[in-house]
Amino acid sequence: MKKVGILISGRGSNMTALLEAMKEPGFPASCALVISNIASAEGLSRAEAMGVKTMVIDHKASKTREEHDAKMIEALKAEGVEIVCLAGYMRLLSPLFIRTFPNAILNIHPALLPSFPGLHVQAKALEAGVAFSGCTVHLVDELCDNGPILLQAAVPIYPDDTEEALSGRILKYEHRLYPISLKLFAEGKFKLCGSRARLSIDRDEYQRLLQSLVSLGDDQ
């Protein structure tokens, strides 16, 4: 059973999806701590309602990013955290933090990386005129929205889509893809080969995984 720490800055919808998955029997990980850098983050009350320990570590109380991250590291290490999940955490992590949890920090990005890193990605996708957007779960390295890709889900863009409509549709896939990725990662199913993370499951299992994502599009 791997111990997970989750970092949030806002409502924590992806955090909630992860916590719900970790409550399921047989899930190979449990959440030891949720940290927010924003005291008013809605996700804190959500986590507390689910019986998860929470903590506020205000970044404004630290003089540097490294000082703030060192406080988070201390709190996570005190709970025995082995895997860190970013769930709407709106700050870049320092090299200190990333090197403390090497190849053990997961993030979900609402686009098909390496396309459209950064913010406002649905607007960028619509402006570019691409046929598909989606979401990506990846390992975090010292570059923004970089690192080995674990899993992706593609979501079609409709001719009349707005940024809001597309974002809402992709969010449904995020809530399914992130828990699946965490489960496989905690089970040791990803093997790093240079800049690539190879998924070590058989084809039948992979087909079932894909089908669980495809089924989300049935009501769209």
* Active site members: 109
State residue 166 phi and psi, 5-degree precision.
-65, -40
Backbone angles phi, psi at 24, to 5 degrees: -75, 140
What backbone torsions phi and psi does residue 39 show, to the nearest 5 degrees? Answer: -65, -30
Question: What secondary structure does DSSP assign to the chain, as a single string?
Answer: -EEEEEEESS--HHHHHHHHHHTSTT-SEEEEEEEESSTT-HHHHHHHHTT--EEE--GGGSSSHHHHHHHHHHHHHHTT--EEEESS--SPPPHHHHHHSTT-EEEEESS-TTSS-SS-HHHHHHHHT-SEEEEEEEE--SSTT-S-EEEEEEEEPPTT--HHHHHHHHHHHHHHHHHHHHHHHHTT-EEEETTEEEE---HHHHHHHHHHHHGGGGG-
